[in-house]
């Protein structure tokens, strides 16, 4: 019988197959980067590249930030559901630094995306409108730039502390209660900071693409979508890793069921806040508000809207209601990947129609190139982060419980 209690915990690392996936991801990212460079030299390429870049950036940033938020949530509430995928959330949150690098083109060339920064837009404003606080104080390039830097400082700072403390705890476990309080003292205000900063970041980077439109629930939609993406990604990765040890030892159907229930909860929450935004604006029927939805219901964009309703809510919701689906590896993986894909489609639907020359719905090859580039590099660095430490928090008391449970099951099986 294997001695699980005395198992060398430093051997609980990601399987060697992840190194192959890491290399392939890097190659995909490199190919995408080459295609993006080619896009700079075709007619109209730079403008289309920046728009596609923003869509992909918001998706992969959302996955990184969602991992950070859910990671802090696991420290606050505890439980088995958060213990097993905790290292996945930590590795994903570390990619905030990568997303800061991907934000540099937007930071350097913001006027290619945000028309309210251009002199032409300012000069076209009526005297009354130009005096509004929105245009005199909030929608200014200097404020936008300063706060973008502040957002990343907040996110990178919180992730750096979480990574450092996780590493220290692996080396010297110390008193468990002190460690739990330490993580909770960061996570409690950290979750508040994350919610506030991401709300205003979504205002600055997406909502301001339509400077005359506003929605107070806009940030909550982004937060719900990011948490849902992070949970879906963790579920899919856990199932993939559970084909081999050590994840196969720990990731059982009860954990899969718990992640599925959380995916269901956040699917419902995302649908609730998204529909609330639509209902309030549509019932108000104000020209400066309703035009945002009218733009996204015509010229082919309505097909995307229907697709989001069906494949981002109706299908995932119906599937995740089933206990069997949540405990089946194939069906839960398909549902998780569908949710993540529709999250990208949703961001595409939010961002692309804002540009006056977008016209009818059409997909550009740069959309695929930017998604492949950022996604390839994101996955490569995620797997590098994941392979740099044990796959589980080895000095957490829950690890002792898990190993004892495994030992008991193995004993019962042999007798």
What is 37-58 written as a DSSP string? HHHTTSTTHHHHHHHHHHHHHH
Arithmetic mean of pLDDT, 352-376? 83
- pLDDT score of 304: 94
> Any idea what DSSP says for residue 354?
G
Residue with the larger pLDDT of the pair 169 and 144? 144
Smallest Cα–Cα separation from 83: which of 254, 320, 225, 321? 254
- pLDDT score of 358: 58
Mean pLDDT of the chain: 89
Question: Who's near 250: CB < 8 A, 6+ residues apart?
Answer: 84, 392, 402, 406
Location of structure tokens 């940030």: 219
- pLDDT score of 8: 57
- Distance of alpha carbon 335 from alpha carbon 120, whole angstroms: 46
- Distance of alpha carbon 332 from alpha carbon 237, whole angstroms: 11
Judge if the upstream peptide bond of residue 246 is cis by omega within 30 degrees of 0: yes
Are the CB atoms for 359 and 301 separated by under 8 Å?
A: no
Are the CB atoms for 57 and 123 separated by under 8 Å?
A: no
Phi and psi (nearest 5°) for 8?
-70, 105
Residue with the larger pLDDT of the pair 348 and 355? 348
- pLDDT score of 407: 46
Location of structure tokens 């993580």: 183
- pLDDT score of 409: 47
- Distance of alpha carbon 198 from alpha carbon 10, whole angstroms: 36
Judge whether residue 302 has pLDDT over 50. yes
Smallest Cα–Cα separation from 236: which of 386, 119, 339, 120? 339
Q: Summarize pLDDT for 230-288 with one digit per residue, the tens.
A: 999 999 999 999 998 888 888 888 889 999 999 999 999 999 999 999 999 988 888 87
Judge whether residue 167 has pLDDT over 80. yes
How many residues make up the chain in this entry?
Answer: 415
> Any idea what DSSP says for residue 311?
I
Q: What angle do CA 330, 331, 332 make, to 5 degrees?
A: 95
Structure tokens at 244: 């081999």
Location of structure tokens 């709300």: 199
CA distances to 118, 123, 186, 225, 270 from 238, in Å: 46, 54, 26, 20, 23
Judge if the upstream peptide bond of residue 129 is cis by omega within 30 degrees of 0: no
> Any idea what DSSP says for residue 298?
S
Phi and psi (nearest 5°) for 61?
-65, -45
- pLDDT score of 411: 34
- Distance of alpha carbon 345 from alpha carbon 304, whole angstroms: 8
- Distance of alpha carbon 231 from alpha carbon 226, whole angstroms: 9
């Amino acid at each position: 019988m294997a001695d699980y209690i005395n198992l060398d915990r430093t051997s609980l690392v990601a399987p060697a197959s992840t190194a192959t996936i890491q290399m392939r991801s890097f190659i995909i990212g490199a190919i995408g980067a080459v295609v993006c460079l080619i896009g700079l030299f075709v007619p109209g390429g730079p403008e289309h590249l920046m728009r596609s870049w923003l869509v992909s950036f918001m998706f992969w940033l959302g996955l990184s930030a969602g991992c950070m938020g859910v990671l802090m949530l696991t420290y606050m509430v505890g439980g088995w559901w958060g213990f097993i995928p905790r290292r996945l959330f930590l590795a994903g949150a570390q990619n905030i630094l990568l997303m800061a690098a991907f934000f540099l083109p937007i930071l350097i060339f913001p006027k290619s995306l945000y028309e309210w920064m251009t002199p032409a837009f300012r000069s076209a404003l009526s005297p009354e409108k130009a005096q509004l606080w929105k245009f005199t104080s909030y929608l200014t390039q200097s404020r936008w730039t300063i706060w973008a830097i502040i957002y990343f400082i907040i996110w990178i700072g919180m992730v750096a502390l979480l990574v450092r403390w996780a590493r220290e705890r692996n080396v010297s476990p110390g008193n468990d209660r002190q460690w739990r309080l330490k993580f909770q003292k960061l996570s409690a205000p950290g979750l508040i900071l994350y919610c506030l900063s991401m709300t205003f970041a979504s205002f600055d980077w997406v909502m301001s693409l339509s400077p005359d439109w506003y929605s107070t629930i806009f940030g909550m939609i982004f937060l719900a979508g990011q948490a849902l993406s992070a949970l879906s990604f963790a579920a899919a990765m856990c199932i993939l890793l559970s084909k081999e040890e050590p994840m196969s030892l720990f990731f059982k159907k009860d954990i899969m069921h718990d992640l599925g229930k959380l995916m269901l909860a956040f699917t419902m929450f995302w649908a609730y806040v998204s529909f609330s935004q639509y209902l309030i604006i549509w019932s108000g029927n104000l020209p400066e508000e309703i035009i945002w939805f009218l733009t996204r219901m015509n010229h082919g964009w309505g097909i995307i809207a229907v697709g989001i309703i069906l494949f981002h809510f109706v299908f995932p919701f119906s599937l995740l209601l089933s206990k069997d689906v949540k405990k089946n590896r194939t069906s839960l993986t398909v549902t998780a990947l569908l949710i993540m894909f529709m999250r990208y489609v949703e961001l595409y639907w939010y961002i692309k129609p804002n540009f006056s020359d977008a016209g009818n719905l059409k997909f550009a090859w740069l959309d695929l190139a930017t998604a492949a580039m950022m996604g390839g590099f994101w996955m490569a660095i995620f797997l590098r982060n994941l392979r740099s430490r044990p796959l589980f928090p080895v000095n957490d008391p829950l690890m002792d419980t898990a190993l004892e449970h495994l030992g008991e099951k193995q004993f019962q099986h042999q007798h």
